[in-house]
């Protein structure tokens, strides 16, 4: 390829890159996705699974905005399970184990069927720049690609170093080269580049495992799908095995810690706290005699198994010994050793809410490069960066999602206001408005917005409208069905006999009252279909809490509307600590709301900034 022009160029065909390219193309931009190997589009570098607690919410939101991750997960899912099923609907997390090959194929097919989008193979070696503006990239083979906006999504590849015991080599993940040239240039262009690490377990041969010694975990019989367009799994559902480490395993690991890349001093960077290596687990939780391991088949036809829970950077011989000390794995054959990887990441505080670099025009960053971990976190950022790159290239206004609108909003706001000191992963506890940001209502929160932006297909629009019409009818029926306490009690529902008439909707808000108990009182409710009933029940259950949450939402919105103009120089504000001044100069928060969420911010410092703004506004008036 000699010369290529695009509105948007996306570098990297991982989870952030694929979602970014798909979003940019859907937004009408002529888009080019450049990646190291065409065959690696949508590769799952680590565990073959999508979703989970908090992460499942992100996938539903991506889907609600017309993205691809939910569809690809539904096409390749081999074990759907709704996590936290017994807890409240707000914290339930859809998850599936995926067939790796089918997932990759689904992503490639979705991209291939999207207009405006081309995928090319090559290594981006350097950005082409004009002043502080990015104009495209030069490839390692010398070719150039010009684009109005560039989205960088290189994951763990920037100066990636792979560690297995005391042996290290350059690599973006096992079997792939690292990206050095681009990493060097990025270090010159952007301040705040750091190193993080992550790790993966050894892969085991399926037929070397004694499955009779493991406990089998089946898929859900009523699977929760990711995409609002899907009704049921597309392929066969399988079981996975559960086994445990034991004292012998811990002894082998403990005796060999000095040979672990992480504990032997080869790796200093910080890894994901919530996804610890087996070395971490054995050292940090010494009171625990065993840890659970899920033996997850990598696909319907694959002969590999992913042992979830034992990621490691110990040398291969130690991996063999500790694996074989585990029940069911006595004769296990390691097909690929586990390893740790260190890589460059960019402090996300240099980005704005649209994931655009504040000081370099035309460049957007998404995915693991921003200090996150996980496919879902990467894809969520890819969606927003891809859309904003497309909007920047075609002269449309940037978009962002607020903390009260979406987990995607929480993710990006956390990253850009607080930065990261360890790989960031999503949890439901990170979302202060989680009662309203549920996985079940992602479409109600985001599909209308996506429709306004012209991002969704006619199929999605029609399905969403039909669902909303049924919900509206259901709500109307629930509100117009009322009865006295004695009429209600006559049907076996224990209710306060205070003489007040109650609607069916009010009764549904009690956790112990299910739809079926209401039908004998109001037979008209029988027309409501099962899906609509589930949704109405969840909405009734949370209605009161959400109403109470509204005050907090309004206060957040008020603070977000208090804009901090560009003319503010924080070092001129007397009374601010030196540390806070540096942080504020670096982040340059666009609003008081944003400033309030910066780590270390105090009410006193906010008062000083507000007073400075008032003085400045008076002086310029």
Q: Where do contacts with ligand FAD occur on this chain (CB under 6 A)?
A: 11-17, 34-36, 40, 45-46, 123-124, 153-157, 172-173, 179, 182, 198-200, 275, 341, 367-368, 373-375, 378
Of 370 and 537, CB closest to ligand FAD: 370
Tell me if 172 sits within 8 A of 157, measured CB to CB: yes
Minimum CB–partner distance for residue 156 and ligand FAD (Å)? 4
Residue indicated by tokens 């809490």 = 545
Minimum CB–partner distance for residue 198 and ligand FAD (Å)? 4
**Cα–Cα distance measured from residue 563 to residue 591, given in angstroms and rounded to the nearest whole number:** 4
Look up residue 278 and give its two tokens.
């087996």
Look up residue 378 and give its two tokens.
């990467």
Minimum CB–partner distance for residue 565 and ligand FAD (Å)? 34
Minimum CB–partner distance for residue 453 and ligand FAD (Å)? 23
Of 152 and 613, CB closest to ligand FAD: 152
**Cα–Cα distance measured from residue 350 to residue 363, given in angstroms and rounded to the nearest whole number:** 12
**Cα–Cα distance measured from residue 231 to residue 206, given in angstroms and rounded to the nearest whole number:** 30
Of 40 and 298, CB closest to ligand FAD: 40
Its sign, for the CA torsion 342, 343, 349, 351, is negative
**Cα–Cα distance measured from residue 458 to residue 451, given in angstroms and rounded to the nearest whole number:** 10
Minimum CB–partner distance for residue 435 and ligand FAD (Å)? 25
Beta strand ranges found along 393-496 (DSSP E)? 482-483
Of 356 and 445, CB closest to ligand FAD: 356
Beta-sheet strand order (sheet of 77-83): 49-51, 93-98, 77-83
Of 89 and 171, CB closest to ligand FAD: 171
Of 107 and 504, CB closest to ligand FAD: 107
β-sheet bridge partners, residue 426: none
Of 375 and 522, CB closest to ligand FAD: 375
Minimum CB–partner distance for residue 6 and ligand FAD (Å)? 14
Minimum CB–partner distance for residue 476 and ligand FAD (Å)? 43
Tell me the CA distances in angstroms from 306 to 97, 206, 570, one per residue in order: 10, 9, 51
Tell me if 42 sits within 8 A of 104, measured CB to CB: yes
**Cα–Cα distance measured from residue 68 to residue 287, given in angstroms and rounded to the nearest whole number:** 43
Instruction: Decide: residue 558, CB within 10 A, 0-12 exposed, 13-18 middle, 19+ buried.
Output: exposed
Cα 223–Cα 97–Cα 284 angle in degrees, nearest 5: 120
Minimum CB–partner distance for residue 19 and ligand FAD (Å)? 8
Of 158 and 442, CB closest to ligand FAD: 158
């Amino acid at each position: 390829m000699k010369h290529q022009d695009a509105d948007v160029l996306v570098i990297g065909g991982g989870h952030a890159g694929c979602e970014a390219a798909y979003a940019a193309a859907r937004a009408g931009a002529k888009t080019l996705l450049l990646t190291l190997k065409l065959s690696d589009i949508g590769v799952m570098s680590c565990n073959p699974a999508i979703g989970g607690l908090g992460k499942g919410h992100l996938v539903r939101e991506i889907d609600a905005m017309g993205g691809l991750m939910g569809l690809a997960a539904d096409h390749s899912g081999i074990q759907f399970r709704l996590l936290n099923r017994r807890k409240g609907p707000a914290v339930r997390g859809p998850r599936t184990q995926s067939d790796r090959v089918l997932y990759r194929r689904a992503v490639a097919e979705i991209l291939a069927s999207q207009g405006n989008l081309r995928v090319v193979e090559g290594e981006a070696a350097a950005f082409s720049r004009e002043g502080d503006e990015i104009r495209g990239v030069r490839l390692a083979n010398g070719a150039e690609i010009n684009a109005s906006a560039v989205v960088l999504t290189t994951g763990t590849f920037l100066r990636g170093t792979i560690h297995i015991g005391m042996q290290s080599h350059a690599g973006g993940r096992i079997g792939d080269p690292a990206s050095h040239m681009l990493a060097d240039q990025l270090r010159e262009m952007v301040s705040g580049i750091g190193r993080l690490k992550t790790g993966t377990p050894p892969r085991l041969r399926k037929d070397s495992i004694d499955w009779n010694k493991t406990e089998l975990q089946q898929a859900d019989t009523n699977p929760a799908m990711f995409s609002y367009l899907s009704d049921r799994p597309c392929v066969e559902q399988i079981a996975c095995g559960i086994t445990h480490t034991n004292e012998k395993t811990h002894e082998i690991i403990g005796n060999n810690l000095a040979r672990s890349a992480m504990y032997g001093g080869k790796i200093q960077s910080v890894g994901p706290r919530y996804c610890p290596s087996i070395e971490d687990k054995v050292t940090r939780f010494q009171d625990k005699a065993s840890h659970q391991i899920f033996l997850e088949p990598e696909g319907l036809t694959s002969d590999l198994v992913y042992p979830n829970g034992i990621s490691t950077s110990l040398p291969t011989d130690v991996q063999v010994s500790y694996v074989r000390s585990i029940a069911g794995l006595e004769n296990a054959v390691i097909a690929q050793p586990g390893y740790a990887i260190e890589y460059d990441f960019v402090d996300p505080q240099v980005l704005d809410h649209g994931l655009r670099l504040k000081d370099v025009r035309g460049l957007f960053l998404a995915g693991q490069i921003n200090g996150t971990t996980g496919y879902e976190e990467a894809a969520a950022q890819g969606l927003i960066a891809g859309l904003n790159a497309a909007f920047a290239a075609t002269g449309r206004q940037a978009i962002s999602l607020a903390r009260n609108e979406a987990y995607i909003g929480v993710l990006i706001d956390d990253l850009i206001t607080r930065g990261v000191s360890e790989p960031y992963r999503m949890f439901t506890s990170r979302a202060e408005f989680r009662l309203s940001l549920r996985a079940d209502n992602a479409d109600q929160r985001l599909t209308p917005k996506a429709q306004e932006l012209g991002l969704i297909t006619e199929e999605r629009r029609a399905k969403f409208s039909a669902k909303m019409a049924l919900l509206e009818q259901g709500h109307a029926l629930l509100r117009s069905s009322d009865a006295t306490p004695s009429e209600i009690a006559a049907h076996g529902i224990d209710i306060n006999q205070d003489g007040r008439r109650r609607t069916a909707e009010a009764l549904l808000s009690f956790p112990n009252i299910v739809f079926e108990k209401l039908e004998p009182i109001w037979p008209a409710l029988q027309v409501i279909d099962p899906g609509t009933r589930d949704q109405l029940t969840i909405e009734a259950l949370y209605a009161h809490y959400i109403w109470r949450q509204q005050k907090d939402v309004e206060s957040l919105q008020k603070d977000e509307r208090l804009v901090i103009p560009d003319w503010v120089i924080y070092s001129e504000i007397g009374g601010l600590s030196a540390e806070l001044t540096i942080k504020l100069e670096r982040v340059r928060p666009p609003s008081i709301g944003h400033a309030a969420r910066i780590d270390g911010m105090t009410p006193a410092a906010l008062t000083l900034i507000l007073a400075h703004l008032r003085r400045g506004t008076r002086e310029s008036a």
